[in-house]
Amino acid sequence: MNKIDFAKLRDEMVDRHIAGRGVHSPLVLDAMRIVPREVFLPENLREFAYEDAPLPIAEGQTISQPYIVALMTDALALEGGERVLEIGTGSGYAAAVLSRIARDVYTVERIGQLAEKAAAALADLGYANVHVLHADGTRGWTDHAPYDAIVVAAGGPEVPESLKAQLKIGGRLVIPVGVDRRVQELVRVTRVSGTQYKREDIADVRFVPLVGEEGWAPEAGGSVSP
């Protein structure tokens, strides 16, 4: 069997599905061209790494569609050197993309197995500026707040107040929000002042539910780990 040329597939994916669909930030495009998505997938799925689709990882979770990772990163309006909070580490892929732009990425995952695997994958790839915490992501990570930007890779019924409070003035929070556990609107919340926030709708999306104290309750039979 011929060896898969992942670098070539990665470039083609960025050209066709990311730049080709309107993401033009050089920082985002460069990060997407560099980070090896295949490394964050189970071995039996690596051949599909550069199809523009979400894929299963473990614990009923998914690695997000590359276009959505790029769209959400682009919506944060990063210029380089920021402190970013990610909620929902999952495989660690999106945190790796963020780490190519931000100074430090703090990422929170409620499922212990995923947090451990993601931390190991990120360390193996040398992403030393990504810090992983196993906890309830709806509460954020107060130790390193305030953040220049926050991105949430799961859909909540509303924007968690804890996350809004951890934004710097002028900071951006990108999160899927919806009354349905599986269908949301991707929104950007900008902190205008100590008490004021501006909200913008970006796109219709589908994410796994944001489970936690300020999100959805676990489904019957689901994991209740922090």
Structural domain includes residue 188? yes
Average pLDDT of span 171-192: 95
**Taking CA 142 as the corner, what is the angle to CA 141 and CA 143, rounded to the nearest 5 degrees?**
95
Q: pLDDT tens digit string along 30-85?
A: 999 999 999 999 999 999 999 999 999 988 888 999 999 999 999 999 999 999 99
What pLDDT shows up at residue 60? 82
Structural domain includes residue 224? no
Structural domain includes residue 43? yes
Average pLDDT of span 156-163: 97
Domain that holds residue 49: 6-205
Structural domain includes residue 225? no
Structural domain includes residue 218? no
Please state, as a whole number, how many other Cβ atoms lie within 10 Å of the Cβ of residue 176.
25
Is the separation of the CB atoms in 117 and 136 below 8 Å?
A: no
Q: Is the pLDDT of residue 150 over 90?
A: yes
Structural domain includes residue 18? yes
- Secondary structure letter of residue 83 according to DSSP: E
Number of domain units in the chain: 1
pLDDT category at 220 given cuts 50, 70, 90 is low
Q: Is the pLDDT of residue 186 over 70?
A: yes
CA-to-CA distance for 152 and 138, rounded, in angstroms?
A: 9
Structural domain includes residue 219? no
Order the strands of the 197-205 sheet from edge to edge.
130-134, 104-109, 83-87, 147-152, 167-177, 184-191, 197-205
What pLDDT shows up at residue 219? 78
Per annotation, catalytic residue among 25, 64, 91, 162: 64
Active-site residue, 64 included: yes
Structural domain includes residue 40? yes
pLDDT category at 165 given cuts 50, 70, 90 is very high
Q: Is the pLDDT of residue 225 over 50?
A: no
Q: pLDDT tens digit string along 84-94?
A: 999 999 999 99
- Domain with 51 in it: what CATH number? 3.40.50.150
